Each structure stands twice: as structure tokens, then as C-alpha cells.
Structure 1
């Protein structure tokens, strides 16, 4: 917090905090809003596009409550919610599809990508959604997402949301990862959650480690191979860390139907902020 001040016409103090984002990112979001307003013929908003961009980015980056942001700027919480949904929709439309992202890596001379899954925690759901979104692995409610990064850990693609109880293997098969990798002429490195994903063991396109069976422990060579694969996969974890710097992902409180749009919009913002 930098300093306390009073909002015009209000009797409550508001605080200011630094938004750790580049001016280019704020300008990109503001330009998207201006283009949207021009396309729909909207001549007036409660606040200018640049200020709306800052409000939405503050909500995404710091997980600010909508009512807190609304009170500081003299608008309603429903207005801020509408701005957030509008902006994440505009950003998500710029997220690359999997096949295009893979072919871009091929054109740049890349040969391998990294793939992994992560659980984005959500509020506990009621009714039938309760058990579907519960992950026994993480002992928490959430939604499963797959992500593909390049060798340096730069995010390339985010999958649609799957229930928290789903497996990485199931989500990868649903998205036809192997077929799209072969079409792009690329290989992939994944963790043990993707074991047996590739249906062509003689010409595998996804490399994973080896699992130890109950009565068949791993050999020294297999253990060393697992260490090498884990070392190569470390960059993928950096990509997830960059994504989860957006604190709204600490626990997603918005409707789960918007979760895919939210993750893909954050992918675009992360790519704009971080280029290794």
C-alpha cells in the first residue's frame, strides 16, 4: 500500500497498490476494449478504456474483490463483473489453438514440447458437481487443465476445463494430443501421468518415465532415465508458476463455465508479460 486517500464524494478511505505489469500489457487490454466498443457502436462507458483495463487487471493479478474495486471507483460490483467477463472473453479469443501452436514451434526449428496437467482449485460445488470436481489426488475441489510449453517453459496452449476427478491421461486422449504432435512432427515429454498414452510403442511421440511395479522395482538405468526426464520437465513447472502468479487462480470463485475462458485469457497475458 502506498498511501491513503479519499474517493471523491465518498466518506470511506481507499488504498492504492502497485500493479506489477508492464505498460504494454495495460495498453494491449485497453486497445482491445476500444476496438470492442467501436465494433458494437458503444459511445460511452462509466470509465475510460484505460481505467477499465487497470481495474480488470487488478482483479486478475491480485484477486481483488469486485465490491472493493467497485467502491474505490464509484461503480457497482455488477459493472466490474461485466467488465471482467468482457475482457477475459476478448483475451481468450486471442489464445492459440493446439495445432497452430505446435506448427509454430515446428516452423521456429523446435523439436520437442513439454506437457503437464494442473488442478485449479475452485469453491466446493453442491449437488452432482460436488463429486465430479473433487480430486482424490489433491484432496481438493477444482478443475483440471492441460498445458503445453516449449523447452524454455513458455506457455503455448491451455486445454478446456475438465472435472477435477479426471486424469491427465484421459484429458490428453480427449484432446488428441498424440495425433496433433505427429501431424506437427514434434515429440513431447510428460510425467508418469501420461504413461501408456502413446498407442505406438515402436515409434513413441511422448516420452515418459518408468513406473515401478509391486514386485518389479526399477533398475538403476531406469531410475537415471527418470531423473533425466524430470530435469527436462522442470521448465514446464516454471510455465505453471508464471500462470499462477495471477492470484485469481488461488481459488476460482466465478462460475465454472467461465473457467476455460479465464485460463486462456491468462495464457495470453502471461505470454505478453514473459518471453524467455
Structure 2
């Protein structure tokens, strides 16, 4: 195997943050003697998440076994995902900040599944994956991410399963969403549907799209972490991975 020097487009602040979490966890477990120190483990995890390399590749790069690399990643992802805010906390934070509205959008995390795995197949995206709901600020800053559901689940159904619609209605927080959320309620504003719409509805749809577009970039921000471009692990881990990446991405923009 050949080796080469490579750069990771992340700040040292994110590395320090993750290393601190791992160090405190090791102290709590009284497990301080390991092959890699907390800083090296943090770097290994960030390489896996940001660059999407396989466990065999990162194991070779850090001179550890593949199983060890797998355990290091599982441990770190679980610890960081726990720090992701709940939906109620995200809604309260949005109201405190004074956002005029928030943006709700669903995204599909592709997975390596066969055509026979119908529950994971998204007819909208024409591929297998896991449905993740993302709540974002008007400028595209992610505020909250849901757990994962099979890709065949419609966005509106997923939003109802996670209680998003009910909580947004209770908070009286105006939400912009695309046509997949038609019927979500009066506080969830969606574009007008149908052909041959009057000019007033076309104008409203254009204004709606301009306001919603920056918020929908939150999904692109999260998918800059290449592990989310195609999961090669258990699909049920998608939600936990997204939550961990959400927490780490928040450190990048501070």
C-alpha cells in the first residue's frame, strides 16, 4: 500500500473539541492506555467522516487494525451525537433568536443496498437511501436533524412521525417547505400547486422559493462530509451519523 500526505478541510478547533470529548470519556471509563491517544483518535474519526474513506484505508493510514478503527469511529460518533439538540430545544432557540421563519426540508442519505430492498427505495430520488428531516435557519444554518427512516417514507409522513409538524404548530413558528409538505398545516407554508396558475400565485411561488433556497442549503452543508454521500454501513446508523456531523459542523462555523 502506498502512503501520501493529505489535508483535511477542518479547523483545529473541531479537532480539539472532539479530542476533549474522547479524553473525558476515557477518563470516565478508566481506559487511558490505547493504541492512539485522544487527539489521534479524533483525527481518525474526522478523516472517516469528512473524506468518506473506508475503514481499511483509515486503519492503514493510522497504523491500527480495521476492527480498532471501526470501534474508534463507533465510540466517537455515539458520544458526539448525544450532544445534538432535541427538536424542542432547536425550536426554542429559533424563537429566542427571533427568526422570522425556519425552513423544513427532507434529504436522502444514499446507501449501498440492492434493488430487492424495497423499503429503502425512494421513488422521488430513484435510489436506495434513508430519509432525514432537517430544520434550518433562513440563512441555511442547520438547527436540528431527525433520526433516520427508510427512503420509501414520504417527507410529510416522516415529519409527522418525528412530531415536527405538531411541535411547530404549538410553537406558532412559521415554516417554509416544498410541495412534499402540502397538508402539513397553516403554519407550514408551501408553494401553490397545479398548472396554469394565475400570476399572483406564480409571484408568490417565486418569493417563496427565494426565501426557502438559502435554508435548503443546510443539506448541502451537511453533505460536505463525504460519508453522507453514500453509506457503506448499517442504514439504521444514518440518523446518528447525521447528528454527529451536525454537532461537528456547528463547531466549524463558530
TM-score by structure 1 length?
A: 0.89
Corresponding position of 1:9:
none
Kindly indicate whether residue 206 of structure 2 is the aligned counterpart of residue 234 of structure 1: no
> Residues 64 and 13 from structure 1, CA distance in 2 versus in 1: closer, same or farther, beyond 3 angstroms?
same
1:27 Cα deviation from its structure 2 partner: 0.3
Q: Distance in 2 between matches of 1:155 and 1:206?
A: 18
SS for the counterpart of 1:107 is helix
Corresponding position of 2:106:
117
Corresponding position of 1:137:
124
**What 5-or-longer segments of structure 1 have no aligned partner?**
1-11, 199-203
Find the structure with the greater CA-based Rg: 1
1:68 Cα deviation from its structure 2 partner: 1.5
SS for the counterpart of 1:253 is coil
Corresponding position of 2:9:
20
1:70 Cα deviation from its structure 2 partner: 1.1
Native 8 Å contact 1:149 1:155 kept in 2: yes
Q: Distance in 2 between matches of 1:206 and 1:73?
A: 48
SS for the counterpart of 2:3 is strand
Kindly indicate whether residue 190 of structure 2 is the aligned counterpart of residue 190 of structure 1: no
Native 8 Å contact 1:122 1:252 kept in 2: yes
Kindly indicate whether residue 242 of structure 2 is the aligned counterpart of residue 263 of structure 1: yes
Q: Distance in 2 between matches of 1:13 and 1:168?
A: 44
The structure 2 residue matched to 1:94, chosen from 56, 80, 83, is 83
**What 5-or-longer segments of structure 2 have no aligned partner?**
none
Native 8 Å contact 2:103 2:216 kept in 1: no
Corresponding position of 1:148:
135
Kindly indicate whether residue 197 of structure 2 is the aligned counterpart of residue 218 of structure 1: yes
The structure 1 residue matched to 2:20, chosen from 16, 28, 31, is 31
1:236 Cα deviation from its structure 2 partner: 2.0
Corresponding position of 1:42:
31
- Backbone CA RMSD of aligned residues: 1.4
